């Protein structure tokens, strides 16, 4: 970690309008290459959300992988307690066999569904209404197997939306973002 990197991490990410845009900027500043090619924002935006989380976790490990102590509150008695962790020890669930895209049977026909990317996050970050953000995200993740047909996710039933969410979750890699303690 150099002064140049520290400057890039602070100055370049601050003016970004949303968290996901800041992540794109931070990854562009910190990565030397991506899959053997030059790093540029569009390529970083197209990484899956989990890949971006993993790269940010690796950056945290690179900067400082010392044991850190966190304080949490017991859900049973309400008392605070301390827990130690090291970022490099947190688990990662690998991608499912169909990552990053698969086909789902729906009432609208066979739909291609893919995992969300940083670009998707940046687009929906501007939408204040959670329900509208969900429809916008589904509209970005879904396409009809017959590319001539458009997909209106609002025509899907609640069970179909839940099934699509499950498929996306199953095929997506996951980075631990919560801790459970006993």
- 153-176 pLDDT, tens digit per residue, is 999 999 999 999 999 999 999 988
Distance of CA 176 to the CA centre of its chain: 12
Query: Rounded to two decimals, what is the model's pTM?
Result: 0.83
Poorest-pLDDT segment among 67-76, 130-139, 152-161: 67-76
CA distance 36 to 29: 16
More confident residue, 29 or 41: 41
Whether the pLDDT of residue 67 is over 90: the answer is yes
Over residues 139-163, mean pLDDT: 95
Owner of token pair 């197209």: 46
Over residues 41-54, mean pLDDT: 95
Torsion of CA 53, 57, 58, 64, to 10 degrees: 160
- Asked if 24 contacts 118 with a C-beta cutoff of 8 angstroms, the reply is yes
CA distance 170 to 16: 31
Q: Tell me whether the omega of the peptide bond preceding residue 34 falls within 30 degrees of 0, making it cis.
A: no
Over residues 62-83, mean pLDDT: 91
The DSSP secondary-structure symbol of 108 reads: T
- Copy the structure tokens of residue 7: 């400057």
Over residues 107-133, mean pLDDT: 96
- Copy the structure tokens of residue 76: 């049973």
Owner of token pair 């400057």: 7
Query: What is the chain's mean pLDDT, rounded?
Result: 90
Whether the pLDDT of residue 56 is over 70: the answer is yes
């Amino acid at each position: 970690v150099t002064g140049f990197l520290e400057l890039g991490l602070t100055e370049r990410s601050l003016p970004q309008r949303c968290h996901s845009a800041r992540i794109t900027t931070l990854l562009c500043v910190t990565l030397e290459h991506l899959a053997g090619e030059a790093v540029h924002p569009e390529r970083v935006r197209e990484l899956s959300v989990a890949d971006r989380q993993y790269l940010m976790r690796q950056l945290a490990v690179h900067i400082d992988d010392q044991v850190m102590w966190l304080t949490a509150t017991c859900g049973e008695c309400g008392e605070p307690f301390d827990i130690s962790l090291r970022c490099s020890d947190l688990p990662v669930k690998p991608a499912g066999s169909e990552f990053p895209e698969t086909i789902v049977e729906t009432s609208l026909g066979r739909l291609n569904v893919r995992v969300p990317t940083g670009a998707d996050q940046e687009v929906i970050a501007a939408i204040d209404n959670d329900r509208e953000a969900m429809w916008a995200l589904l509209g970005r993740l879904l396409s009809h197997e017959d590319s001539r047909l458009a997909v209106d996710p609002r025509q899907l039933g609640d069970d179909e939306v839940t099934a699509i969410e499950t498929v996306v979750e199953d095929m997506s890699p996951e980075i631990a973002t919560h801790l459970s303690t006993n």
